[in-house]
Structure 1
Amino acid sequence: MKKLLLLFVLNISATLFAQAAKDSELFLTLKKHDSIFFEKSFNQCDIAFLEKAIHPDLVFYHDQGGIQNKKTFLENVKKNICAKGSQKPIRKVKPESLEVYPLYSEGKLYGVVQTGIHDFYIREANKPDVFTSTAKFTHVYLLINKEWVLKEVLSFDHKS
């Protein structure tokens, strides 16, 4: 009986923490969201978009830059990613690396954990993008008023 109960609990646990299928509406929604979020905020430097897309209590953990809150994160994006100059950092996700894990409270979807690998490049006018590094990421998005808002970020394992 104990073995049956243990198998039942393990099966339920695996189901609750399973990633969303790569063809599911949730996965495809978050994949599209990731694409739009980074294209607008990181690659195009739409700071107004970025400010609205991240939670007021954002916490960003970076293995090279330390812990940042929303204010510090926005300052660093403006200074390091969106500074005027001939070279512009660009982020490209490895689509096959994306995983999405739904978060529920009392059966209601309230957020997701999204993980993956992204590559970074330097872009200069009239030149091909030049690879600079790769890193792993984990994002926690909360579903607030039907919008996905970035609440927590882990950016780690950066390699040149």
Structure 2
Amino acid sequence: MTKKIILSFIITIIFSTISKAQINKNSELYKTILSKDSILFDAGFNTCDIKQYEDLLSENLKFYHVKDGVSDKTKFLYDLKNGLCKNPGTRQVKRILVKESTEIFPLYRNEILYGAIQNGEYLFYESKES
């Protein structure tokens, strides 16, 4: 019983520390992440402009999908071209970011920024033409 309480307390402290680590919405990192989000989704995903993905995604990409498992950049682009974007004229999916909900959490290793976690709400729309 005591171990569970201590573990629960430690987890609570960790998550409360993480939640306070959100950066200011006026910071350069926040603005950069929102800018890249816009390019990736508004210009890439929403219009099936695969070139945006090719340019923005790292060669070291690891994409984890609930149904399909892990994909590298090559497989991810192949699946996008032959899935959602196979025929954008007849089927289009759109993703809209709810900007007010966006939180950015910087990731540091040895006090050097190496990444960030973006958390927020997104709306997905799908339209199909007969």
Query: Which bin holds the TM-score, normalised by the shorter protein?
Result: 0.7 to 0.9
The answer for the alignment partner of 1:103 in structure 2 is: 107
Give the C-alpha shift of residue 50 in structure 1. Answer: 0.7
Within a 5 Å distance, the mapping from 1:3-152 to structure 2 comes to 14=17, 18-84=21-87, 85-123=89-127
Normalising to structure 2: TM-score of the pair? 0.73
Normalising to structure 1: TM-score of the pair? 0.61
CA contact (8 A) 2:22 2:104 kept: yes
* Runs (4+) off by over 4 Å: none
Structure 2: unaligned runs, 5 residues or longer: 1-12
Give the C-alpha shift of residue 94 in structure 1. Answer: 2.0
Q: Counterpart amino acid of 1:53?
A: L
The Cα RMSD (Å) is 2.5
Q: Secondary structure at the match of 2:83?
A: helix
More strand as a share of residues? 1
More helix as a share of residues? 2
CA distance in 2, matches of 1:57, 1:81: 22
Structure 1: unaligned runs, 5 residues or longer: 1-9, 126-160
CA contact (8 A) 2:39 2:52 kept: no
CA distance in 2, matches of 1:50, 1:120: 19
CA contact (8 A) 2:63 2:72 kept: yes
Give me the identity figure in percent: 38
Q: Counterpart amino acid of 1:49?
A: Q
Give the C-alpha shift of residue 124 in structure 1. Answer: 5.5
